[in-house]
């Protein structure tokens, strides 16, 4: 006869639900910290979804959302029939592609350069300097760049005069205004964007570098054959997420840095939505444009993720 201790405990095994509850209770402190973020996400991201129906109604402020009559897709037909909408869409798309092609690789390059610095104090100083612009608002930065690039009183104009050249107003010319937006956006975001890649670089196995060094690999070869493949999953995921913003312009930047002289290229969908929505009080049209952009962003993320899975097996899901 088996002893009492050797007999299997019947009914002692916990169900999956009980185990999950136990884990939640075990890490209750962390979940409590997460509650404010979840509440903010619900209030500012999910609750506004209720207002999407404005895009399918002839919205009247006095009648409210429920009292406004349904018009189906008439608002979208009206918006898509406006030539100025397609001009703004073209400007947004061009600016988005420029920011993606030029702006996306820059944080990766900065992270690689910082990772190669062996002097820790110098490295941390450069990191701190590169992070600082992220915390400055576009209102402040716009005033700074307008002053710097002023053709009359700016230091850039002074350098032009010093070499005997005619000062050029970069922010007042259609041909250069987009480049000013891209360069200033990269300057503001490059340091903050490199944090993710620096974190990924910290997880690279150092023994691979030592083995490559013994085999005589140069610094560039170690970066190309060890560093980049190691952070490829992180770069891919960030690229997929960034692809969704290809039709999302930086409204704060464009609105504060633009002027009447460059309206032809500065009239992006963010500015156009602001004008027809808040200034002209055409809420149905502005909601329809925002919904249209969100659908495109979602489609771009899905498309990029699908292509990525087929190319290198990396993706969000």
Given a cut of 50, whether residue 2 has pLDDT beyond it is no
Indicate whether 285 belongs to any domain: yes
pLDDT, residue 14, reads: 55
269-305 tens-digit pLDDT = 989 999 898 888 888 999 999 999 989 998 998 998 8
Sign of CA dihedral 102, 104, 109, 110: positive
Q: Coil, helix or strand for 48?
A: helix
Given a cut of 90, whether residue 10 has pLDDT beyond it is no
pLDDT, residue 74, reads: 92
List the one residue out of 194, 186, 202, 223 whose CA is nearest residue 128: 194
pLDDT, residue 9, reads: 47
Instruction: Indicate the number of domains in the chain.
Output: 1
Q: How confident is the model at residue 104 (pLDDT cuts 50, 70, 90)?
A: very high
DSSP of 180-224: HHHHHHHHHHHHHHHHHHHHHHTTS-HHHHHHHHHTT--HHHHII
Q: Which residue is it, tokens 């009447």? A: 260
201-260 tens-digit pLDDT = 988 888 888 888 888 888 888 888 888 888 888 998 899 888 888 888 788 999 999 888
Segment 178-189 mean pLDDT: 94
CATH number of residue 187's parent domain: 1.10.3720.10
pLDDT, residue 56, reads: 92
Indicate whether 102 belongs to any domain: yes
Indicate whether 12 belongs to any domain: no
Please state, rounded to an integer, the average pLDDT across all residues of the chain. 87
Query: 303: part of which helix (H) or strand (E)?
Result: helix 283-312
Given a cut of 90, whether residue 105 has pLDDT beyond it is yes
* pTM for the predicted model, two decimal places: 0.82
Indicate whether 202 belongs to any domain: yes
pLDDT, residue 15, reads: 64
Indicate whether 14 belongs to any domain: no
- C-alpha count within 13 angstroms, C-beta hemisphere, residue 252: 11
List the one residue out of 92, 243, 289 whose CA is nearest residue 178: 92
- C-alpha count within 13 angstroms, C-beta hemisphere, residue 143: 4
165-178 tens-digit pLDDT = 888 888 888 889 99
Segments forming the whole domain that contains residue 162: 56-312
Q: How far is Cα 175 from Cα 25, in angstroms, rounded to an integer? A: 59
54-102 tens-digit pLDDT = 999 988 888 888 888 999 899 999 999 999 999 999 999 999 999 999 9
Indicate whether 10 belongs to any domain: no
């Amino acid at each position: 006869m088996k002893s009492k201790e050797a007999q299997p405990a019947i009914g002692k095994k916990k169900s999956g639900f009980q185990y999950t509850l136990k884990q939640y209770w075990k890490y209750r402190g962390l979940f409590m910290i997460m509650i404010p973020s979840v509440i903010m996400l619900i209030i500012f991201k999910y609750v506004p979804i209720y207002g999407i129906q404005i895009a399918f109604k002839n919205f009247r402020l006095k009648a409210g959302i429920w009292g406004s009559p349904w018009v189906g897709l008439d608002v979208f037909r009206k918006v898509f029939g406006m030539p100025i909408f397609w001009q703004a869409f073209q400007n947004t798309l061009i600016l988005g592609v420029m920011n993606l092609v030029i702006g996306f690789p820059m944080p990766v390059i900065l992270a690689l350069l910082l990772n190669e610095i062996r002097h820790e104090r110098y490295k941390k100083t450069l990191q701190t300097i590169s992070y600082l612009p992220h915390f400055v608002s576009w209102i402040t930065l716009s005033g700074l760049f307008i002053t710097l690039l002023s053709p009359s009183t700016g230091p850039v104009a002074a350098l032009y005069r010093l070499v005997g050249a005619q000062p050029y107003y970069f922010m007042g010319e259609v041909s250069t205004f987009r480049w000013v937006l891209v360069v200033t956006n990269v300057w503001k975001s490059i340091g903050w964007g490199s944090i993710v890649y620096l974190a990924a670089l910290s997880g690279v196995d150092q023994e691979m570098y030592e083995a490559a060094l013994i085999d005589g690999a140069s610094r560039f070869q170690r970066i190309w054959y060890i560093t980049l493949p190691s952070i490829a999953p992180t770069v891919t995921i960030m690229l997929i997420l960034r692809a969704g913003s290809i039709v999302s312009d930086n409204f704060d930047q464009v609105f504060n840095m633009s002027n009447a002289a460059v309206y032809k290229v500065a009239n992006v969908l963010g500015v156009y939505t602001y004008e027809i929505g808040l200034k002209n009080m055409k809420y149905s049209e502005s909601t329809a444009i925002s919904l249209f952009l969100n659908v495109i962003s979602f489609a771009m993320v899905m498309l990029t993720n699908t292509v990525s899975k087929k190319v290198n097996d990396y993706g969000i899901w």
